[in-house]
Amino acid sequence: MAKVKMILNRCIPIVLVSATLLTPIVAQAGSIKIWPDQLKATDPGCAYYQDAYSLAAEGCSFTAPITLPVGARITKITYYRIGYTGALTSFNLVRVKMGNEPNTLAEQGSDNVAEIEAVDVPFTVEPPGDPVIRAGYRYHIHVESLGWAQFLGAKIDYRE
């Protein structure tokens, strides 16, 4: 019995260390939410109404900075809207490096008439949108409405 105990006392730490070293690192998943009251009008003279849960606008554009960890990969972007007859909304994810032109990474619009609509935003094909957050860039979203529409927020999912 004492011999078995001695063998186990030596083997168990080796097994535990080996299992720890061989276990793959699991990527951390996260998401950020952009609420309507976080958006700033790019033309303050346009007609809009804004509160914590809704932004109703006609012919206006808005922007908000986003911050994600460097190296994170964006896996999904969704924005929420309510559209009225003839109201088009668009959503863009943009990045810019100081001294350069902005680059649109993802964009999608919708003109559906819906009570509440969740719109998935794909990455651009030409030029290819880069879903990985890079050092040295600033990222922001740009939302625009043509006709009366309500923006209800956006969610950006990512993996580190």
What's the total number of domains in the chain?
1
Lowest mean pLDDT among 17-21, 103-107, 129-133: 17-21
Q: Which of 36, 84, 33, 81 shows the shortest CA–CA distance to 62?
A: 36
Give the pair of three-digit tokens for residue 135. Answer: 């050092």
Mean pLDDT calculated for residue range 28-33: 93
Q: What pLDDT, on a 0 to 100 scale, did the predictor assign at position 14?
A: 54
CATH number at residue 80: 2.60.120.260
State yes or no: pLDDT of 18 exceeds 80: no
Q: CA-CA distance, 56 to 152, in Å (whole number)?
A: 9
User: Is 19 within a domain?
Assistant: no
User: Is 22 within a domain?
Assistant: no
Give the pair of three-digit tokens for residue 8. Answer: 């186990």
Q: What pLDDT, on a 0 to 100 scale, did the predictor assign at position 23?
A: 47
User: Is 1 within a domain?
Assistant: no
Neighbours of 88 (CB within 10 A): 14
CA-angle at 140, arms to 43 and 133, nearest 5°: 170
Q: What pLDDT, on a 0 to 100 scale, did the predictor assign at position 112?
A: 85
User: Is 7 within a domain?
Assistant: no
User: Is 13 within a domain?
Assistant: no
Q: What pLDDT, on a 0 to 100 scale, did the predictor assign at position 33?
A: 97
User: DSSP letter at 22?
Assistant: H
Q: What pLDDT, on a 0 to 100 scale, did the predictor assign at position 84?
A: 82
User: Is 142 within a domain?
Assistant: yes
User: Is 11 within a domain?
Assistant: no
Element (H, E) at 2: helix 2-22
Domain that holds residue 79: 27-159
- DSSP H helix total and E strand total for the chain: 1, 9
Write out pLDDT tens, residues 35-75.
999 999 998 788 899 998 999 998 899 999 999 999 999 99
Write out pLDDT tens, residues 108-158.
999 888 789 999 999 998 888 999 999 999 999 999 998 889 999 999 999
Residue 16's pLDDT band, with cuts at 50, 70 and 90, is very low
User: Is 65 within a domain?
Assistant: yes
